[in-house]
């Protein structure tokens, strides 16, 4: 943004209250003021938005196709990136308005589950900040991820109608609607454009979210209504709107539901149609689309948008009358694929019958691609047996990851260890066929939202030490290292951490009703609830500490507050059992005066981006304790690191690179490595581990025997117990090696308890982590994508 006129802004803000609500400024509610402020900010953005869009028109553009964008709130982040956040805070102060209270009026745009959706949001922000032609395509779900609260310690889900009071951070572009044709009906895809503001650079890119609506007359049938058939009169409208009504609340698990596939097809079909139309308008001479790939590159965020591949071919064949060879040639040049998981239960495989329900032509095209693959491999001399592991269509199922891998120009994993596992296991046959396509792009997070915005105190202090250049080139944070032994700096780091802990404690008191002590160690695990993430390991250790304290109330231990935040997929019984278990521990421990002062457990409700902004800066310990080999990357780990917090973690995902960058001596590594687990998996006997460790046996047995905790007769705790040592379903026990890693985890925690007491030594570890967090900025990641894959 070029010029900012403070007085003008203030006047516009006040005028907007009056024009929007036809009341005087003083009469307006807090929400009405929030609305008017949002509008004033959007007006500031619009000029640069138009000029960026104009500039991009004839250039090469990259599009990030993602079924999820976990945006969170927009107001504060936009103000920060516009470079006017301090001025706006002053203006509000002049008007006697508290910024934090206004900000609290904004609902999170929670159009994603967890890491994958948040990554997409960080990526588009970094793209704009780096001045890249990078845009997003996604879905405007009218219900975001459910709101979570606890009742009796159980998770209760409620709807998230985040647009109900208005969504002021997008613009409806009615005239740019597309028609999407499903097998049995058609809908209108209406784009809502979200501005993606670059940091202090005048760039505003576009995140286009499609909303499904009825084609004619809003789908309302006057005839039915007139004949008193009220339900029928809106059935068309409802059927269309159902497509983008809800985000599926599943993280890292496949759902084979028709509606989910309709959603995927809906948003990629609208996107592909638009790109084809734009190309025709801008390059009318390119009759066979042979230049399409020069102007467009499409990144597929996991397999959710992979149906874009046959859809693009379909449009070229059926609507643009291209030959199969020409259409297929276009597809093989414009897609790139990111894999996000090695968990088998998360790899999408769609039933042909279901795809047929959505679009019969897409089934034909997928089968044709599979035949092409067959021919390809036969011509390369592969035998039928050798071809089998590559089949895209296997029986009635379509392997979406294989479809993506075959057609894409690039396949990447999201951390080094993850990419290596893809090469050696998950996609090994494809790596052998196309080694040149495989590459790694270690994830990152945006330092604007996750450091500058969430932690202005630490940001200002860093500015005072090394100047502000790091905000444009975050690798400059390395300059902090020269203060690693400066006692004054270390004390100040501790002081700021304490301030952030006080702020979090206040927020937790307000929202959870639990008092926590900022002088205790804040040990935080915040991420989706999943067995592979092993919140259960954390919980069993807490129970172990509790029993130790009961045996010896004078135990020499620094007071500790364990904080959890996590949503469980509503249908994931075991994950919900683990939430209940931790909430029972919380109740038991927080109400026991014998351990009070030493141990506290808080499970915050409705963990989401805006809550996360309070949690990351206030952590003393970052819990990244997944089973080695299972967490593709993790990005929460990076947010903690940026906020000067040591990691307690396994050799998994990006932890490996965090340990490398910041040094093992500044972090806490525990647990078996991935290779070790692969070695022992066949002979692993969890019962033996359990029998041979009395501390472990005691806490596992507590699931069934501890009288002061209860699952209220739901059998949740029996289920957890069985999963560890006695699965009734013929499966292996303890598939995530919770018992195997328990002792190692206990010992790492003991070391933390000891080390934390040297306050300066602890601050030093935090400082060195922060100084080396530059690599984990999504600016670095997005530049890697731009240079290696997108060539933009």
Q: Tokens at residue 234, please?
A: 């809106």
> Quick check: 567 binds ligand PLP (CB under 6 A)?
no
> Quick check: 635 binds ligand PLP (CB under 6 A)?
yes
CB nearer ligand PLP, residue 148 or residue 211: 148
What are the CA-CA distances from residue 415 to residues 362, 435, 562, 629, 777 (Å)?
A: 33, 17, 28, 11, 13
> Quick check: 649 binds ligand PLP (CB under 6 A)?
no
**Which of the residues 244, 338, 446, 635 is marked catalytic?**
635
Window 99 to 138, contacts with ligand PLP (CB under 6 A)? 114-115, 118
| Longest pairwise C-alpha distance within the chain | 82
CB nearer ligand PLP, residue 114 or residue 413: 114
3 state DSSP class of 240: helix
- Report the C-alpha gap between 408 and 404 in whole angstroms: 6
CB of 595 to ligand PLP, least distance (A): 28
Count of residues in contact with ligand PLP, rule CB under 6 A: 12
> Quick check: 426 binds ligand PLP (CB under 6 A)?
no
Position with the least CB separation from ligand PLP: 636
| β-bridge mates for residue 111, sequence order | 69
Interacting span for ligand PLP (CB under 6 A) from 265-273, 629-637, 680-688, 756-764: 629-637
716 is annotated as an active-site residue:
no
**Which of the residues 33, 35, 208, 340 is marked catalytic?**
340
533 is annotated as an active-site residue:
yes
147 is annotated as an active-site residue:
no
> Quick check: 76 binds ligand PLP (CB under 6 A)?
no
Burial class (CB in 10 A: 0-12, 13-18, 19+), 446: buried
CB nearer ligand PLP, residue 534 or residue 639: 639
CB nearer ligand PLP, residue 652 or residue 719: 652
What are the CA-CA distances from residue 396 to residues 255, 283, 787 (Å)?
A: 16, 40, 39
> Quick check: 636 binds ligand PLP (CB under 6 A)?
yes
340 is annotated as an active-site residue:
yes
- Strand order in 647-649's β-sheet? 599-604, 560-565, 521-526, 621-624, 647-649, 668-669
> Quick check: 66 binds ligand PLP (CB under 6 A)?
no
341 is annotated as an active-site residue:
no
- Residue 376: closest CA among 417, 418, 433, 421: 433
Question: Distance from first CA to last CA of the chain, Å, rounded?
Answer: 23
CB of 416 to ligand PLP, least distance (A): 16
**Which of the residues 135, 293, 361, 533 is marked catalytic?**
533
SS (H, E, C) 603-643: EECCCCHHHHHHHHHHCCEEEECCCCCCCCCCCHHHHHHHC
Cβ count within 10 A of residue 76: 21
CB of 115 to ligand PLP, least distance (A): 3
> Quick check: 622 binds ligand PLP (CB under 6 A)?
no
- Residue 240: closest CA among 215, 257, 261, 221: 215
CB nearer ligand PLP, residue 121 or residue 516: 121
Interacting span for ligand PLP (CB under 6 A) from 348-356, 469-477, 608-616, 770-778: 608-616
Question: What is the DSSP secondary structure assignment for residue 349, as one 8-state letter?
Answer: E
Instruction: Find the helix or strand (DSSP H, E) in which 119 lies.
Output: helix 115-129
Window 509 to 528, contacts with ligand PLP (CB under 6 A)? 527-528
Give the start-end residues of each E strand in 277-332: 296-301
635 is annotated as an active-site residue:
yes
> Quick check: 634 binds ligand PLP (CB under 6 A)?
yes
Interacting span for ligand PLP (CB under 6 A) from 350-358, 382-390, 604-612, 752-760: 604-612
Residues whose CB falls within 8 Å of the CB of residue 120, separated by 6 or more in sequence, listed in order: 64, 66, 68, 69, 70, 112, 136, 138, 301
What are the CA-CA distances from residue 310 to residues 85, 280, 314, 690 (Å)?
A: 45, 20, 6, 51
> Quick check: 340 binds ligand PLP (CB under 6 A)?
no
**Alpha helical stretches, state H, 335-441:** 352-358, 360-379, 384-387, 400-407, 416-421, 428-433
CB of 477 to ligand PLP, least distance (A): 19
Of positions 109, 524, 609, 628, contacts ligand PLP by CB under 6 A: 609
- Residue 448: closest CA among 77, 9, 181: 77
> Quick check: 497 binds ligand PLP (CB under 6 A)?
no
CB nearer ligand PLP, residue 471 or residue 639: 639
CB nearer ligand PLP, residue 115 or residue 447: 115
**Which of the residues 527, 534, 541, 567 is marked catalytic?**
527
Catalytic residues: 340, 527-528, 533, 635, 639
State the residues that interact with ligand PLP by CB under 6 A: 114-115, 118, 527-528, 608-609, 612, 634-636, 639
């Amino acid at each position: 943004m070029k010029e900012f006129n403070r007085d003008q802004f203030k006047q516009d803000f006040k005028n907007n209250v009056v024009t929007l609500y036809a009341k005087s400024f003083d009469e307006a509610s807090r929400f009405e003021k929030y609305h008017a402020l949002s509008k004033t900010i959007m007006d500031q953005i619009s000029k640069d938005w138009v000029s960026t869009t104009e500039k991009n028109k004839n250039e090469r553009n990259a599009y990030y196709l993602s079924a999820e964008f976990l945006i969170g709130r927009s107001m504060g982040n936009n103000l920060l990136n516009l470079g006017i956040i301090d001025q706006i805070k002053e203006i509000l102060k002049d008007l006697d308005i508290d910024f934090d209270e206004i900000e609290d009026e904004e609902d999170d745009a929670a159009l994603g589950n967890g890491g994958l959706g948040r990554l997409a949001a960080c990526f588009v922000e970094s793209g704009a900040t780096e001045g890249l032609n990078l845009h997003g395509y996604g879905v405007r779900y009218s219900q975001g991820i459910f709101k979570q609260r606890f009742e009796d310690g159980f998770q209760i889900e409620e709807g998230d109608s985040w647009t109900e009071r208005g969504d002021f951070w997008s613009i409806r572009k009615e005239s740019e609607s597309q028609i999407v044709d499903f097998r049995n009906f058609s809908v209108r895809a209406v784009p809502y454009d979200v501005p993606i503001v670059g940091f202090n650079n005048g760039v505003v890119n576009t995140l286009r979210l499609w909303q499904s609506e009825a084609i004619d007359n809003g789908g309302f049938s006057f005839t039915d209504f007139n004949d008193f058939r009220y339900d029928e009169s809106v059935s068309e409208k409802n059927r269309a709107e159902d497509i983008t009504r809800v985000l599926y609340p599943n993280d890292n698990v496949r759902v084979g539901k028709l509606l989910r596939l309709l959603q995927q097809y809906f948003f990629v079909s609208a996107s592909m149609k638009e790109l084809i139309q734009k190309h025709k308008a801008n390059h009318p001479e390119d009759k066979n689309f042979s230049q399409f790939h020069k102007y467009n590159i499409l990144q597929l965020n996991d397999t959710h948008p992979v149906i874009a591949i046959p859809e693009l071919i379909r449009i070229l064949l059926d609507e643009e009358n291209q030959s199969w060879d020409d259409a297929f040639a276009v597809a093989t040049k414009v897609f790139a694929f990111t894999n996000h998981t090695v968990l088998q239960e998360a790899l999408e495989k769609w039933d042909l019958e279901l795809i047929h329900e959505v679009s019969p032509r897409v089934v034909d095209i997928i089968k044709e691609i599979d035949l092409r693959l067959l021919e390809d491999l036969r011509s390369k001399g592969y035998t039928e047996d050798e071809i089998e592991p590559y089949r895209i269509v296997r029986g009635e199922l379509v392997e979406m990851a294989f479809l993506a891998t075959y057609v894409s120009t690039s396949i990447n994993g999201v951390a080094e260890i993850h990419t290596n596992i893809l090469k050696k296991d998950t996609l090994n046959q494809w790596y052998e066929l196309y080694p040149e396509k495989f590459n790694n792009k270690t994830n990152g997070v945006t330092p604007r939202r996750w450091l500058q915005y969430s932690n202005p105190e630490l940001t200002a202090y860093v500015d005072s030490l090394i100047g502000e250049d790091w905000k444009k080139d975050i690798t400059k944070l390395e300059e902090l290292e020269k203060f690693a032994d400066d006692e004054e700096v270390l004390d100040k780091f501790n002081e700021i951490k304490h301030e952030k802990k006080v702020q979090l404690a206040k927020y937790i008191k307000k929202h959870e009703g639990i008092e926590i002590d900022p002088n205790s160690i804040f040990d935080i695990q915040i991420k989706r609830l999943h067995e592979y993430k092993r919140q259960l390991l954390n919980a069993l250790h807490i129970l172990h500490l509790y029993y130790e304290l009961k045996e010896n109330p004078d135990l020499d231990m620094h007071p500790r507050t364990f904080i959890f935040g996590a949503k469980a997929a509503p249908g994931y019984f075991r994950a919900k059992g683990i939430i209940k278990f931790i909430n029972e521990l919380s109740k038991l421990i927080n109400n026991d005066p014998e351990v009070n002062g030493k141990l506290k457990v808080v499970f915050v409700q409705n963990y989401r981006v805006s809550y996360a902004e309070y949690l990351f800066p206030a952590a003393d310990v970052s819990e990244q304790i997944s089973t080695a080999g299972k967490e593709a990357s993790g990005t929460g780990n990076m947010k903690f690191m940026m906020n000067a917090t040591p990691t307690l973690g396994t050799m998994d995902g990006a932890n490996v690179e965090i340990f490398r960058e910041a040094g093992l001596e500044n972090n806490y590594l525990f647990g078996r490595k991935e290779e070790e687990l692969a070695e022992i998996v066949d002979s692993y006997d969890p019962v033996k581990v359990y029998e041979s460790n009395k501390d472990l046996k005691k806490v596992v047995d507590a699931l069934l025997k501890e009288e002061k905790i209860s699952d209220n007769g739901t059998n949740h705790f029996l289920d957890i117990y069985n999963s560890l040592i006695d699965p009734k379903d013929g499966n292996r026990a303890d598939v995530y090696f919770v018992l195997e890693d328990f002792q190692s985890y206990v010992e790492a925690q003991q070391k933390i308890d000891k080390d934390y007491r040297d306050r300066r030594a602890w601050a030093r570890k935090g400082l060195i982590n922060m100084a080396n967090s530059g690599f984990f900025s999504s600016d670095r990641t997005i530049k890697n994508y731009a240079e290696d894959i997108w060539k933009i």
